[in-house]
Amino acid sequence: MIVAEIKEIAEIRRMIDRYSSILVVGCDSCVAECAAGGNRETMLLAAALRLSYRKDNKNPVITESCLDRQCVDDFIERIAHLVPDHEVILSLGCGAGVQALARVYSDKPIIPALDTLFIGETEMRGIWQENCLGCGQCKLGYFGAVCPVTRCSKKLMNGPCGGSKAGRCEVREDIPCGWDMIMRRLDTLGELDRLEEYVPPVDWSTSHSGGPRRIVREDQKP
Amino acid sequence: MPGLSLVAIPCSGKLEAHHLLKTLAAGAEGVLILACAENACQYMEGSKRSHKRTDYARAWLEKLGIETGRLRFVHLAPMDRDGLEAALKEFAIKLETFGTTPTIAQSQAR
């Protein structure tokens, strides 16, 4: 899922203070799972904005709504009846959600309320871990389902660097060494021989380095 | 007690930060959260969770420049009437020191 964090209220206020009616729109998918932009957080941010404006004796109209998914037109259209009555949409979606809203409501300013951070997993409630960079050539099968591109700070594909100490990364002590995880996992599985297989250097042209990616599938089109 | 609204929830663990901020945004001067003792929670972690969520809501108030004391968390046994009265009086006195904030406009109170 996409993991994000809510921005500081001061930054959000700087972006929306010029408007007198604000539609706060959450997304109850990925960013709900990471407790940043779901229904709860939409209510929280709307209430915080009301309090913030009330403190400054200002009185913008603030309406809140939450979409099941903010990156798909079928869902986005469900706020169509609210949009004309507001000068701006404050989105608690990820960057994709914000841009999808901007595409659909092309005459409306869309302001992000979140900082979109990474593709990751809920390791446990309250802890979200980045574990995929979307490089476009998944090689997890070679590495015991531990991604060297993401979990190794240096994106090494052929073993740990000299900075791996006691299972920790030299970049920061709180980062587990990705290669330590790969070795231990393959050892547990009895599949250390996987590492004898040659894995060619990563072709970064399939990652974002090759420009914005797009998939077109005729069988899926309406 | 005048001006007091009582909101009963099945367990304080049902409480979420947005409930607290919404209540303040709707015009309440403060919210007193009454929870069972942590070791007496029948749902194991309800009181712990509501305590953490109250702290999170307080952190929001701090960022907003609003007195964090407007949210008060108190452990109280279910039938402790004296404790309840004392907690309410103490909270009311504390809220008076904060003074009132401008009344929220109707357009915001949706």
List the single residue in A44, A52, A54 with the smallest CB-CB distance to B18.
A44
Cα–Cα distance measured from residue A159 to residue A182, given in angstroms and rounded to the nearest whole number: 9
* 8 Å CB contact of B64 and A54: no
Return the pLDDT at B101: 57
- Taking each continuous run of H as one helix and of E as one strand, the counts in chain A are 7, 7
| A72 and A18 share one domain | yes
- Which one of A74, A90, A118 terminates a domain? A118
Return the pLDDT at B53: 97
| A25 and A100 share one domain | yes
* 8 Å CB contact of B107 and A57: no
Letter for the amino acid at B64? L
List the single residue in A8, A51, A60 with the smallest CB-CB distance to B24.
A51
Q: What average pLDDT does the segment B49-71 reach?
A: 96
Range with the poorest average pLDDT among A17-21, A95-99, A160-164, B98-102 = B98-102
Asked if residue A43 belongs to a domain, the reply is yes
Question: pLDDT at residue B102 above 60?
Answer: no
pTM: 0.93
Q: What average pLDDT does the segment A39-55 reach?
A: 97
Asked if residue A18 belongs to a domain, the reply is yes
List the single residue in B60, B101, B109 with the smallest CB-CB distance to A48.
B60
Letter for the amino acid at B29? E
Interface predicted TM-score (ipTM) = 0.89
| A91 and A185 share one domain | no
Model confidence at B3, pLDDT cuts 50, 70, 90, reads confident
Q: Calculate the alpha carbon distances from A96 to A27, A121, B5, B84 in Å.
A: 11, 18, 42, 49
Q: What average pLDDT does the segment B82-86 reach?
A: 95
A vs B, Cβ pairs < 8 A, gives 60
Residues of B with CB under 8 A from a CB of A: 16-18, 21-22, 24-25, 60-61, 63-66, 101-102, 104-105, 107-110
Asked if residue A214 belongs to a domain, the reply is no
- Structure tokens given for A44: 């929280």
Q: What percent of chain B has pLDDT over 90?
A: 75
Asked if residue A40 belongs to a domain, the reply is yes
| CA distance to partner chain B, nearest, from residue A40 (Å) | 6
Q: What average pLDDT does the segment A49-58 reach?
A: 94
Letter for the amino acid at B110? R
Model confidence at B100, pLDDT cuts 50, 70, 90, reads low
Contacts of A41 in chain B (CB under 8 A): 18
Domain count, chain A: 2
* 8 Å CB contact of A9 and B66: no
CATH of the domain at A45: 3.40.50.2300
In whole numbers, what is the pLDDT of chain A averaged over residues? 96
CA B10 to chain centre: 15
List the single residue in B66, B104, B107 with the smallest CB-CB distance to A61.
B107
Asked if residue A128 belongs to a domain, the reply is no
Question: pLDDT at residue A217 above 80?
Answer: yes
- Which one of A87, A118, A149 terminates a domain? A118
Asked if residue A92 belongs to a domain, the reply is yes
Q: What is the pLDDT of residues A114-145, one digit of tens each?
A: 999 999 999 999 999 999 999 999 999 999 99
Residue of B nearest to A13 (CA): B64
| A76 and A141 share one domain | no
Contacts of A59 in chain B (CB under 8 A): 105, 107-108
CA B55 to chain centre: 11
* 8 Å CB contact of A54 and B25: yes
Asked if residue A215 belongs to a domain, the reply is no
Cα–Cα distance measured from residue A207 to residue A137, given in angstroms and rounded to the nearest whole number: 8
Q: What average pLDDT does the segment B24-33 reach?
A: 94
Q: Which domain holds residue A147?
A: 133-207
Residues of A with CB under 8 A from a CB of B: 8-10, 40-41, 43-44, 46-48, 50-55, 57, 59-64
**Nearest-CA neighbor of B53 among B15, B90, B86, B27?**
B15
In whole numbers, what is the pLDDT of chain B averaged over residues? 89
Return the pLDDT at A198: 87
Question: pLDDT at residue B8 above 70?
Answer: yes
Look up tokens 């979200």; give the residue.
Answer: A128
| A61 and A99 share one domain | yes
| A52 and A111 share one domain | yes
Q: What average pLDDT does the segment A16-29 reach?
A: 98
Model confidence at A90, pLDDT cuts 50, 70, 90, reads very high
Tell me the β-bridge partners of A165. Answer: A168
Q: First and final CA of chain B: distance in angstroms?
A: 26
CA B72 to chain centre: 5
- Which one of A118, A143, A162 terminates a domain? A118
Q: What is the pLDDT of residues A190-202, one digit of tens each?
A: 999 999 998 888 8
Question: pLDDT at residue A24 above 80?
Answer: yes
Asked if residue A220 belongs to a domain, the reply is no
Return the pLDDT at B51: 97
Return the pLDDT at B58: 97
| A108 and A34 share one domain | yes
Return the pLDDT at A173: 94
| CA distance to partner chain B, nearest, from residue A94 (Å) | 20
